[in-house]
Amino acid sequence: MSANLLAAAGIIRTHAPKHKRTKAVSSADADHISTYRLSPDKISTVAKEFHEHRMIEHPNCHYQVSYKMVEAFISYISGGGYYRQAARSEGISKPTMILYSRKVASYFSSTAAQHIKLPSTQEVSEMTGRYVEGKKVIGLVDGFLMKIQRPDHARDEFYSARPGKYYYDSMNIQYVCDLNGKIIHVLTGVSGRAHDKNAIEWSPRLRTWLDNLPPNHYILGDSAYLGYHEKCLTLFRNPNHLQQLFNNEAARIRTKVENVIGAQECIWRILMTKENRVPAKSGLAFPSDVCLSVAVLHNRFSNYVF
């Protein structure tokens, strides 16, 4: 019996006509967002700002070039940090992609102070807070590792060997965010070998801010930050019954900063520590600029955490 007869009898199924089994055609905006993670309007906004920045040094530069540079960089960081693949998708050469990425990352890094700020004393009193055993938590701190190339002459200084987790050269990134998911402080450039508590110690600005917090205002971290600062609450290690109650309540609050980090790693895949390494042979300037760029984009445009 032929295949057509079997299909007509319902014994076997054949493929539907091609025009019926194709995927539904998405809108141009949806395709754009899936590739660049930002809408065309948001990319245009950043491109205009970047173009004004470029005109300071190059008064005769073209806006279309500035737009292409921003678009290429966003494609690079959202695609996982592969120069060759991003260059091919953007229709430019790999050296051009490298040049564009470094220039735009440096620009985003220069604007970080405008979009990532520790709140003033007046702003602290107006921040959203949650109480844990009568203590008002207004901020959350956590860290993660970003896989990088081994810097020249660094030997094993950036090699992180954490049993069951990581075995590679990396940089320790520290985030402090409020309870709405907005990043208020970023620390980059610290070796991946550093413990979270030791890494955050490299930020005198954060310590000064903690020193000046109003009474009964705290930030919250996991047990890795135990003993860092009296204004930094931490989860208990090997807790008893009462301490476990505190840990349970604190852990529910801490999920916000973990959501921020996890969402960024999913959206801007250059932060993922599984597939690729961020170029760092000539120094940590570029990977640090990339981290700040992602944080700036998060604070300005992203609402995927909520």
Q: Are 286 and 279 in contact (CB under 8 A)?
A: yes
**Domain of 285?**
116-301
Helical residues (DSSP H) of the chain, grouped into ranges: 3-8, 18-21, 28-36, 40-57, 63-78, 83-90, 94-110, 112-115, 121-126, 196-200, 204-211, 241-267, 285-301
- pLDDT tens figures, 202-238: 999 999 999 999 999 999 999 999 999 999 999 998 8
For residue 132, tell me if it sits in a domain: yes
Q: What is the DSSP letter of 148?
A: B
Q: Are 175 and 263 in contact (CB under 8 A)?
A: no
Instruction: Give phi and psi for 193, each to the nearest 5.
Output: -75, -20
Q: Are residues 262 and 208 in the same domain?
A: yes
Q: Are residues 81 and 124 in the same domain?
A: no
Q: Are 181 and 202 in contact (CB under 8 A)?
A: no
> What's the average model confidence in pLDDT over 130-153?
92
Tell me: pLDDT of 18 over 90.
Answer: no
Most confidently modeled of 84-88, 166-170, 201-205, 265-269? Answer: 201-205
Q: What is the pTM of this model?
A: 0.84
Q: Are residues 142 and 212 in the same domain?
A: yes
How far does Cα 262 stand from its chain's mean position?
A: 8
**How many domains would you assign to the chain?**
2
Q: Are residues 260 and 126 in the same domain?
A: yes
